Structure 1
């Protein structure tokens, strides 16, 4: 017998708080420097709300829709803790130890979620983890690490109400708080702090196993001619979504029949992470976004071929929502993995889709990590290198540091005098070979290694006939070894030869 699941709202009628503030506000938080300071919340319509911040006081009236908003002027980064006090009538909310600095949003799936306590450098890193200038906002979520079984009734109740992410507070970065924190996010933040010496806030909302579609607004998907099908009908039976995430969703749904024709709320449902995680913090200015995602969208060729356009749609919407058209967005290219224990046959194509996105959006960058993958695990434990490489992009493009942001990226390929000549961006002081004397990873047929040599910032591939394409690192688990003078690896690519 199937259970029917409905949500009943029980509203208190005797008492109601005169003033509430958005959940993102707490002790120890970071507010974004050089942007208007926006404080917002809910209250009783018509009531007066007073806000005090940094020795400045402002007043507003709660609107008919119960919302209130107050803005303070732009501020520079400060190491001096500030207090925030919100009051209305006889109610008072106070937050302390607030700093002004840069906030970075850390999102994606399991490799962004991958915690510090499981990271290979954790034992050493914990010794320097007491960093009071780094603040962590790291909620858990419904369904975390639950697969192969149905969610409980209490979990379904919370999901139906849209309560996906758990309530939490900002925490000081220390040996305890980093244990469950995103390792990639932590290492990224540490690198930025060490170079820029300003407070860093890290908001971590990654969801293990999720598709990119959950982090894109449902309305944005619906308005897109290319992707509107992704929000048609029940997501559990929608062929426009990755097979794997629908199978996991059905396991978690169990035998419950949902009244919502779009299917049950879940961390994998299109638009759901955006609605429950991103939308509630849109009014909080941020510095930028780091994104480690792709595994769940890399198993069917249809999903692979559309990924760059999907991520472009996501980036454009985030920039519009935050009213920051130059909002930095840096992503991690999928690593390497074998095919024996994982369906990774399409990973070379997927990595190339991620590379192509570099030419489709401005103010973005991609950290290449194919050199640190695990052959038999989708979760490589070296997240320090990943975070450091993401930080290189931010340090160069966002903070203006004189640092090479990336390993070699192909610019063009031309055939001349019996050889295909590939030129590269970000060669630094010249291309190099890592791990041996022979250059590996180049091919003109996707499978057979070609005879390739380095000539300063170019690679020559000997061929009696003009090849149509040149491929590099075109294997799920690759031993390709082209690097630049900073020992940063070249991206997987397929490039047409002119």
Structure 2
């Protein structure tokens, strides 16, 4: 009998459920400042729910479908812990240590998931990890760290949207910080240092996941360009990344009792699955913005490379629409440098450039360059501190309106005149120079052979015998290109037309 009750209680839609809140509400959480505060959950239909928060008390009758929703007025940032009391008849839920600040959602794959305990500065940073203004929502997910191993039968039975992520909010200290996204932590710490407000980090990154998993099935199916990603069993669908399907088949193995739908068995890499399991359940709660670090799984075939920018824009447009925040900030990390056949990194220069070009078509966005942090044979750079801090520069500049240069040099134009190409840049700072004091590296007029380039004031000059069609920079899978601005922030990989 106890076992039956436990199973019933886990089911998200229940005709006569006990009083509960959505899973995202818990002790030690952050609520988004300057937005109406939305609290919701489930209970017994037609019963009254009383919710008390910040000196206000609201009541609502539970709907016939067991759901209830209550809104409180928006508040300014507040680092003083508050409580939320939720009562229905003889049941009571008390949520404590609630702060008001900014919530940033971290999504992506393994480089966003990459935990602090593996980050190169962790031994030093753990002594500074007691951060009372940082709160962490870092749920474990089914299949985490499994690699190519086959999932157990019990795991396959839990491979559903409700049970996939399991976790709660935590204070940020030397113990909890071990598993949090290193990129997310360093981002949060930078914002706290500069803005002195509470920051909540929600980390839903999944190692190996393609972008398709973080986009809703409905959004994909309604898009003419990408509807084919949902038209057949996803494990055999050539419109999806080959490596992703191969790894999923290894995890599923010979299992026969699988949770499935019209496009095949559930898995973290399945189109729409991470969205349904992680994004959809929190859309009712306002957030400040999104940090995105993903691409390795989508960069191994040229067809996937060529479509990625459109997929990312589709995802961003959809999230903004779903949250009803058309100006919601999205800041992403450009793929790093690597040169290995295992990841088919020959396509990485094109991929990095596609990520750069997105900046022109997506408002309220920014991109952290990471090519200088890469390892030639390892897809996981261990210096996540500079990545989190570079993302924070974008947020500080564009979201928090701080007078700070957000990025390394980004190309504006390349013009040919009198035997020279003149390249102008945005975000030069006081001047351009090389990161190591040596001659510039990384420029090319054919994408293969490097050429000499020189800095004059805030421009780069390349002497040529004739006008080339394009000029390239950092156009190698693993690049040692060394152009930086006065803040020592690296220039992005690029390929631009010479006019």
Query: TM-score range, shorter-chain basis?
Result: over 0.9
Q: Say yes or no: does 1:294 pair with 2:302.
A: no
Q: In structure 2, what is the equivalent of residue 69 of structure 1?
A: 69
After TM superposition, list the pairs within 5 Å mapping 1:375-386 onto structure 2: 375-386=376-387
Aligned-pair distance for 1:92?
A: 0.5
Shift of 1:148: 2.4
Displacement of 1:256 after TM fit?
2.5
C-alpha deviations, 1:380-402, integer Å up to 9, x for none?
10000000000000000000000
1:304 alignment counterpart: 305
Write the distance in 2 (CA, Å) between the matches of 1:245 and 1:162: 22
Contact kept? 1:183, 1:383, Cα under 8 Å: yes
Which ranges of structure 1 fall in alignment gaps of 5 or more residues? 1-8
CA distance in 2, matches of 1:404, 1:11: 53
Distance 1:400 1:443 in 2: 36
For 1:127-176, what per-residue CA distance to the aligned partner results, in whole angstroms no more than 9, with x for missing partners?
1110111000000100111132321111111114642111x221110000
Distance in 2 between residues matched to 1:404 and 1:108, nearest whole Å:
25
3-state DSSP of counterpart to 1:345: helix
Cross-structure match for 1:88? 88
- The match for 1:487 is 488
Contact 1:18 1:47 in 2 (8 A): no
Q: CA deviation at 1:489?
A: 0.3
* Higher mean C-alpha deviation, range 115-124 or range 228-237: 228-237
> Is residue 2:332 matched to residue 1:331?
yes
Q: Is residue 220 of structure 1 aligned with residue 219 of structure 2?
A: yes
Find the aligned partners of 2:261 and 2:447 in 1 and give their Cα distance: 46
The yes-or-no answer on 1:354 pairing with 2:355 is yes
Cα deviation code 1:395-429 (max 9, x no counterpart): 00000000000000001111101011111000011
Equivalent residue number for residue 192 of structure 1: 191
User: Where in structure 2 are there 5+ consecutive unaligned residues?
Assistant: 1-5
1:134 corresponds to which residue? 134
Write the distance in 1 (CA, Å) between the matches of 2:160 and 2:79. Answer: 41
What is the alpha-carbon distance in structure 2 between the residues aligned to residue 475 and residue 162 of structure 1? 42
1:340 positional shift: 5.3
Deviation at 1:18, TM superposition (A): 3.7
Determine if contact 2:16/2:45 at 8 Å carries over to the other structure. Answer: no
In the alignment of these two chains, the number of paired residues is 489
Structure 1 counterpart SS, 2:265? coil
Give the alignment's TM-score, normalised by structure 2: 0.96
Matched with 1:229 is: 228
Indicate how the Cα distance of structure 1 residues 312 and 161 shifts in structure 2: closer, same or farther if over 3 A, else same.
Answer: closer
CA distance in 1, matches of 2:178, 2:286: 27
- Aligned-partner Cα distance in 1 for 2:19–2:317: 34
Instruction: Indicate if the aligned counterparts of 1:137 and 1:170 stay in contact, CA closer than 8 A.
Output: yes
Matched, 1:121 2:121: yes
Structure 2 CA distance, aligned partners of 1:261 and 1:102?
38
Aligned to 2:403, what secondary structure does the other structure show?
coil
The answer to whether the 8 A contact 1:162-1:265 is kept is: no
Secondary structure of the corresponding residue to residue 96 of structure 1? strand
Alignment of 1:175-324 (within 5 A): 175-257=174-256, 258=258, 260-324=261-325
Partner of 1:57: 57
Determine the structure 1 residue equivalent to 2:47. 47
CA distance in structure 2 between the aligned counterparts of 1:252 and 1:219, rounded to whole angstroms: 26
SS at match of 1:159: coil
Two-structure CA RMSD over aligned residues (Å): 1.6
Would you say 1:159 and 2:159 are equivalent positions?
yes
For residues 442 and 11 of structure 1, the distance between their equivalents in structure 2, rounded to whole angstroms, comes to: 62
Distance 1:353 1:413 in 2: 18
Residues 193 and 200 in structure 1, CA contact (< 8 A), matched pair in contact too: yes
Aligned with 2:274: secondary structure? helix
**Equivalence for 1:5:** none
Q: Secondary structure at the match of 2:367?
A: strand
Alpha-carbon offset, residue 15 of structure 1: 10
- For the Cα contact (< 8 Å) 2:29–2:200, is it kept in 1? yes
Does the 8 Å contact 2:161/2:276 carry over to 1?
no
In structure 2, what is the Cα distance between the partners aligned to 1:56 and 1:117?
41
Deviation at 1:11, TM superposition (A): 4.3
Task: Measure how far apart 1:120 and its partner are.
Answer: 0.3
1:160 and 1:264 in contact (8 A); partners too: no
Give how far 1:62 is off. Answer: 1.0
Displacement of 1:17 after TM fit? Answer: 4.1
In structure 2, the residue matched to 1:4 is none
Give the Cα separation in 1 of the matches to 2:30 and 2:49.
22
Task: Spell out, residue by residue over 1:96-129, the C-alpha distance to the aligned partner (whole angstroms, 9 max, x if none).
Answer: 1101000000110000000000000001001111
CA gap of 1:141–1:17, structure 2 versus 1, over 3 A, is same
Distance 2:386 2:218 in 1: 36
* Equivalent position of 1:3 in the other structure: none
TM-score by length of 1: 0.96
Aligned to 2:3: none
Aligned to 1:364: 365
Relative to structure 1, the CA distance from residue 410 to residue 161 in structure 2 (aligned partners, 3 Å threshold; closer, same or farther) is: closer
- Say if 1:135 and 1:160 are closer, same or farther in 2 by CA, change over 3 A: closer
| Aligned-pair CA distance for 1:285 | 0.5
Cross-structure match for 2:37? 37
Residue 464 of structure 1 corresponds to 465
Work out whether residues 44 and 66 of structure 2, in 8 Å CA contact, stay in contact via their aligned partners in 1.
yes
User: Does the aligned pair in 1 maintain the 2:432–2:459 contact within 8 Å?
Assistant: yes
**Whole-angstrom distance in 1 between the partners of 2:113 and 2:19:** 34
